[in-house]
Amino acid sequence: MEKLKLNYKRTLIIGFAFFGILMLWQIYNTYCPVILTELLVRKMGNAEHNEVQWIVGIIMAVDNILALFMLPIFGALSDKTRSKYGKRMPYIFIGTILSAIALPLIPLAFAYDSLWGVIVTMLLVLVFMNAYRNPAVSLMPDITPKPLRAKANGVINLVGYIGAILAGGIALFITTSKYFRAELDDGSINPNYQNWLIYLPFVITSVLMLISLVVLVLKINENDLEKKMAIEMLEGEKEAEVIEEIKEDTSKIGKGNFKNLILMIVAIFLWFAAFNAVETFWSNYCTYYISFTSYSMATNVLAIASMIAFIPAGMLATKIGRKYTVIIGLGLCILPIASCFIMSPLIIQDAGLVSNHTYLAFIYYILFAIAGIGWAFINCCSYPMVVELANKNNIGKYTGAYYASSMLAQSLTPIALGALMRSPSFQYGVMFIYSTILFVVALIVFFFVKENRQKKITYKKGLEAFDQD
């Protein structure tokens, strides 16, 4: 039997589906909270920005609650789908096209000053994206042997984060404070408000999503690849790092594997809740709380650091195991988030401190870079650990469990944190406390996950690993 090897070229192409998803998600999370805030402030008689964050949180959470149900459903549906185009590709094709059409409707509704229009178009985008997100992610483990999935997931995330970085680059040019705020800090009307440039981030994202879809459709024949990879997939099952053997003819799972699954699902919920706290409210925190205009640069730094770290994360997982790679990642997230909390009181004493002292902005970039590396370590290994427990007939189902946990976290966090921010005693700074505590609890839970590293894994190393068929 020839040693298992990862086809990097093919894996990169599969990553184009994730490229579009992360680019859309970055634009969505960067602009939608500020768009909602501006509309709500005016609809509520010029309320304070922090007073409407609980409503912003609820609106953002409603979309995520929808995803909570859709992701497992479409994962299970795609498991059972059989077509001449494959079982995942039909969902990816239709979902990407509809998402790309719906995305630019968000700024269009904003330009017409329609709060309900924005909410409805946001909902449409989430419906279409979540219809294909699970199948898009499941495509990789469908045709990648289990021992190689951490490396493959690193490649997939690398491509995805290129999309996120592109979106962040657009956000640097089209800043929310310049084009989306109706009033400036001095109370005067913003002359740039509702400028045509607000459409660019959404339109560019839609176009790039469609281009990535074309590349994926032209280069990936799902049914042919499934036949071609059959023998390697069987060999990968023999080398799976699981407590009990995974059987192809049943959906039942052993007690040890089930315990691992539950622990991982709980930990995944906790660390996504922790990360989403900062992801959702960071732009508002900087815009309305500390007057930090370079917040999109900080998220770019995080995305770039993650992108660089994904491939090394896969290699590290090969050396020390996926479990301990995740644990290191959690530690790397806890340190900078806790540091941001410590910095917050210093900034509050002088709202202009960040803009007047670039060294503090530099500190933010360093902290976000460390968090980005940690987040890459976590995401590179956690999803492969979950689908390690699946057989070839229910990968979508286990992918659904993974995303149900993460989306539940992202549904509850905006509501809970938005409510905390409403209190004058907490306001925006509480997000770092919230995030730090949840990351620490996730670390404790994940320590109890067991990983079987006793089996000898036969795959190519070094330059051999890049050998292509």
88-102 confidence digits (pLDDT tens): 999 999 999 999 999
Q: Per mean pLDDT, which range of 395-399, 421-425, 451-455 is the poorest? A: 451-455
**Per-residue pLDDT, 31:** 84
CA distance 466 to 61: 42
Please state the length of the chain: 469
**Per-residue pLDDT, 272:** 94
Q: Which has more confidence, 449 or 251?
A: 449
Best mean pLDDT range from 31-35, 103-107, 239-243, 459-463: 103-107
Q: Per mean pLDDT, which range of 173-177, 186-190, 439-443 is the poorest? A: 186-190
**Per-residue pLDDT, 176:** 63
Closest CA to 38 of 138, 144, 118: 118
CA distance 405 to 412: 11
Residue 418 in tokens: 């938005």
Q: Which has more confidence, 234 or 370?
A: 370
User: Backbone phi, then psi, for 183, in 5-degree steps?
Assistant: -125, 150
- Within 8 A by CB and 6+ apart from 87, the residues are 78, 79, 80, 81, 135, 142, 222
Q: Kindly compute the dihedral angle of the four CA atoms of residues 128, 160, 170, 130, in this order, to the nearest 10 degrees.
A: 10
Mean pLDDT of all residues belonging to the chain: 80
**Per-residue pLDDT, 93:** 94
For the residues 303-310, what does the mean pLDDT come to? 88
| Confidence tier at 105 by pLDDT (50, 70, 90) | very high
CA distance 386 to 371: 23
| Confidence tier at 447 by pLDDT (50, 70, 90) | very high
- Please write the tens of the pLDDT for every residue from 61-90: 777 777 778 888 888 898 888 888 888 999
Please say whether the beta carbons of 362 and 228 come within 8 A.
no
CA distance 53 to 40: 9
For the residues 346-355, what does the mean pLDDT come to? 48
Q: Which has more confidence, 295 or 170?
A: 170
Please say whether the beta carbons of 462 and 151 come within 8 A.
no
Q: Which residues of 442-456 are buried (b: 16+ CB within 10 A; e: fewer)?
A: bbebbeebebeeeee
Residue 279 in tokens: 């992801």
**Per-residue pLDDT, 209:** 93
**Per-residue pLDDT, 207:** 94
**Per-residue pLDDT, 354:** 46
**Per-residue pLDDT, 332:** 96
Indicate the DSSP class of residue 104.
T
- Please write the tens of the pLDDT for every residue from 310-348: 889 988 988 888 899 999 999 999 999 988 877 765 554
What percent of the chain shows pLDDT beyond 90?
Answer: 23
Q: Per mean pLDDT, which range of 66-70, 192-196, 403-407 is the poorest? A: 192-196
Closest CA to 31 of 118, 99, 130, 97: 118
- Please write the tens of the pLDDT for every residue from 109-118: 988 888 899 9
CA distance 107 to 65: 23
| Confidence tier at 302 by pLDDT (50, 70, 90) | confident
Q: Which residues of 13-36 are buried (b: 16+ CB within 10 A; e: fewer)?
A: bbbbbbbbbbbbbbbbbbbbbbbb
**Per-residue pLDDT, 457:** 46
Q: Per mean pLDDT, which range of 150-164, 197-211, 315-329 is the poorest? A: 150-164
What percent of the chain shows pLDDT beyond 70?
Answer: 79
**Per-residue pLDDT, 223:** 85
pLDDT at 463 over 60: no
**Per-residue pLDDT, 423:** 65
| Confidence tier at 195 by pLDDT (50, 70, 90) | low
CA distance 175 to 173: 6
Please say whether the beta carbons of 244 and 254 come within 8 A.
yes
Provide the total of helices (H) and of strands (E) in the chain, helices listed first: 17, 0
Best mean pLDDT range from 224-228, 336-340, 369-373, 407-411: 369-373
**Per-residue pLDDT, 355:** 46
pLDDT at 1 over 70: no
Please say whether the beta carbons of 157 and 310 come within 8 A.
yes
Global confidence as pTM: 0.76
Q: Which has more confidence, 246 or 142?
A: 142
Q: Quick count: other Cβ atoms within 10 Å of Cβ 224?
A: 11
Closest CA to 29 of 334, 297, 291, 299: 299
**Per-residue pLDDT, 48:** 65
